[in-house]
Chain A
Amino acid sequence: MNRLPTGMYLPGDSPIHRLDPRVKLLGLFISVTAIILVRPLIGYGVILAFLAFTVALSGLSIKIALNSVQRLSWFFLVIFMMNTFFYSPENAWFSWWIFTPSSAGLMQGVDVVLRVVFALVASNVITSSTAPMEITNALEALISPFKLVGIPAEQIAMILSIAIQFIPTFSEETEMIRKAQTARGARFDSKKLTEKAAAVLPLVVPIFLSAFKRADELSIAMEARGYRSASGRTRKKFAPLKVDDYFALLIVIAICILQILIR
């Protein structure tokens, strides 16, 4: 947690930064669908080329685009090893106790890890190039049709917007509480998993108390200023989509269709 927080907005003026947030969010959902659908090697090539192009266009460094990938290295290793050693007993290289490593398992491990890495990079590019408020406004615009069936879209958007804004605050607070617990003797750096787990658990109650204190203060402040309901409030009106937005959306849809066709 000492590194740059994942998904932190980095202001810029790249073509990706300038895209309409609704298009970026919709594009993210469509590209994640394309990543789920990816099958043959050529499909991975298309997704990789698309992501490399998007990262280059966004002006973000490779390090930022791969920010959360590094954090999850343990997870990737475990997933890869589990698939390699347990996926299929057929055509195994050798069999020892419960382990049956095979080429099929190895390929399955690479497949799963690559999909998660691709999805992570796609979401990193979007969250790093879009301000949290823009994401919220876009989300509200995208879920607004649900109002027709009685779902309170404005209230949901308000809750999501506050949640997104709280994420960096709580990350910092968790880090502070972690340091305080370390000063009291908690062993977060211990190599023993039981000691690590025992150190992490006492973090939970203080984190919740601190978070609920903030919730209490914020709700009192909102009510004191006359806030009653999210419905009927004024909000940002989006400008109509530009040619660039339609073009970006078209590319993402084309890639998704291509993945369906080459499966």
Chain B
Amino acid sequence: MKEMSVVKKSIITAVCLALCVVLPQAFHAIPNAGSVYLPMHIPVLLCGLICGWPFGLLCGLAGPALSTLFTGMPPVAVLPVMIIELAVYGLVSGLIMSLIRTRKTYVDLYISLIIAMVTGRIVAGLARAFIFARGATTMATWAASYFVTSLPGIIIQLVLIPTIVFALMNARLIPRRYPKSA
């Protein structure tokens, strides 16, 4: 399977954007699911990993805004921080994925994923501390909200995202990263 065209990357980005709205709705039956299971992060990270950083960045910027417009979630008050956090996820996951080539797809995926997840949380914490919640953000509240409360979501992302990427590769819906070793 050859490299994806810009048209296909655009459509995949559109699909991930739509899933940024639909996927959290599937979790709404669970109270506080958005901040625990982080369903909106999955399409953004996937978009960055599969389509590259420009598309991942767009998905991260527009996904939460579109979801707020259509479903009211995330609430307007947390939307700016969430946009910054998801934009960094999309940008960094795509960027690292394009820079790293270890000849093993799952290693590339995990390195990109973990760096993106950590960077996004750091940038979101800095944005809160210096812009959106100046004086109200401490190291403890940052660690609690971005690593403790959302621990189930982090585990889900680390398990599900590589699984989804391999499932898409096996279904020939996206090209394999290393065709010969596959």
Mutual binders A and B: yes
Chain A residues touching B, majority SS: helix
B112: Cβ under 8 A from any A Cβ: no
A201 and B13 CA atoms in complex are apart in Å by 22
Contacts across chains A and B counted by CB atoms under 8 Å: 178
From residue B138, how far is it (CB to closest CB) to chain A in Å? 15
A17: Cβ under 8 A from any B Cβ: no
B178: Cβ under 8 A from any A Cβ: no
Complex interface residues of chain B between 66 and 84 (CB less than 8 A to chain A): 66, 68-73, 75-77
Q: Using Cβ atoms and an 8 Å threshold, which residues of chain A touch B33?
A: 197, 200
> Given A208-B46, A209-B171, A223-B7, is A156 in contact with B58 using a C-beta cutoff of 8 Å?
yes
Q: Using Cβ atoms and an 8 Å threshold, which residues of chain A touch B15?
A: 162-163, 166, 211-212, 214-215
* Max chain A C-beta neighbours (<10 A), residue from B15, B25, B152: B15
Cross-chain contact of B19 among A1, A170, A200 (Cβ < 8 A)? A170
- Contact between chains at B77 and A36 (CB < 8 Å): yes
Q: Give the interface size bracket for A toward B.
A: 35 or more
A229: Cβ under 8 A from any B Cβ: yes
From residue A87, how far is it (CB to closest CB) to chain B in Å? 12
Of A41-49, A99-107, A111-119, A232-240, the one with at least 4 CB within 8 A of chain B: A111-119
- Contact between chains at A209 and B22 (CB < 8 Å): no
Cross-chain contact of A167 among B42, B70, B76, B152 (Cβ < 8 A)? B70
Q: 12 extra interchain contacts, Cβ-Cβ under 8 A, other than A159-B17, A164-B66?
A: A35-B76, A116-B72, A123-B69, A158-B10, A161-B14, A163-B15, A201-B156, A213-B173, A216-B8, A219-B12, A222-B11, A230-B10
Closest 5 CB pairs of A and B: A163-B17, A166-B18, A162-B14, A120-B72, A219-B8
Would you mind naming 13 contact pairs between A and B with Cβ atoms under 8 Å apart?
A68-B72, A72-B72, A72-B73, A74-B32, A115-B75, A115-B76, A164-B18, A170-B19, A170-B22, A197-B37, A205-B167, A208-B164, A212-B171
